[in-house]
Structure 1
Amino acid sequence: MNLLKHLEQKAKLSESLYVSYDELTEWPTEQIEEAKQQGCLVQTDDAEGIICCQCPKHCWKDVEIRQKDGHSVGVYFCEDEDCAGLIEIELERLQQWIIEKKKLFQLGYGKTGHHRKEQTRKQKQKGEILQLQAALLKHHGFDSDTFSYEPATQEQLKQLLGWSQPKVHRVMKAIFGSNPMNAYKRQCRTKAIPGFLKINDDGGYSIEAIYESTDE
């Protein structure tokens, strides 16, 4: 695994997108420079502390900055019985970088997860459209001898579906386009709604198609 792949995994699995100076020292210099040049690692404000590696506990320690022999150093206190005492570190160990997930994606890392999420989103949207179409089917009476051209209100659709009004509007927009309620009412007013609902421009499912499929 190279550093960029490691950063991808860290971005997926960890709540933190920060990478410490100590963590980077475990990787080859050329890979670190590549990640920085590609914009995948961007230096940010110094950390306020470090993970102490004096003992197996690996505790987080806040670091205090002091002056020593004319220059600044970092110090913290370790309470471990074997390592107890004041520990001095170079301030460069407080440096940290943040992982730029968008840059990783542009380089091809993390696309599988993104693609899976996009597929899930599209499947969910399709399911919502089918539910709304079924509600319109019920309202207009596709299952009765008399078809009604009276448009349903958002409130009626909200009650039929158990959705919030913003969700009704969003899914109506996916079917009828911008200004969905006006477009829907226009289809009802011109009595074109049966044909409009029967076949979509993209060849997808329609209300009649759904209704007919339930008769099989």
Structure 2
Amino acid sequence: MRVVIAEDSAILRDGLAQLLELRGVEVAAAVGDADALLAAVAEHRPDAAIVDIRLPPTHTDEGLRAAVTLRRASPPVGVLIFSQYVETKYAAQLLGDGSAGVGYLLKERVVDIGEFTEALRRVAAGGTALDPEVVSQLFSASRRRSALDALTPREREVLALMAEGRTNQAIAAAFTVSERAVEKHIANIFTKFDLPPSETGHRRVLAVLRYLESAA
């Protein structure tokens, strides 16, 4: 099995390469950024790529976006995301394109290099390897997006103004409707977001947080 590693930390990159080679995995290239990853895959045609999410230059989601590109290539390359973070936006896109040959493991939860190598071989062979915590967070993000999709256009507009800190009176003035109409829209938002009355949480704040998370 031939692999390419994309990890911005030189110590982690070299250490992982050495551990894999000791277990019979050929590391064709170990690089530190997304552009170098794409170039290495094009040159070496590996069975799989091990990719960190946060790569230079911005250290945000370059690795995950590169992984999506690799999965859409012809032929697609097996991709094992190996990161400290769960980034739901592009991860959902990566898995949504077809989960065959895709893995997502969290660094802090991998304690056995043998199990890691087995997961890598599974991904290279077209299988999957997903950490349960990744699945849980992707499921939660999917439910939030579904709830946002359930809102009517006017309810979305009301929620957007709530996120700006507008009062019911200000929202009513913006749409030239009664405050009672605004209250009805907000009640519908609470219902669709499954936010029942609670003594411990402010539903208006929670609804805005759902909106910001879903729009991120």
TM-score past 0.5 threshold:
no
Instruction: Give me the TM-score of the superposition, normalised by structure 1.
Output: 0.22
Structure with the higher helix share, 1 or 2:
2
Does 1 or 2 have the higher relative contact order (CA < 8 Å, sep 6+)? 1
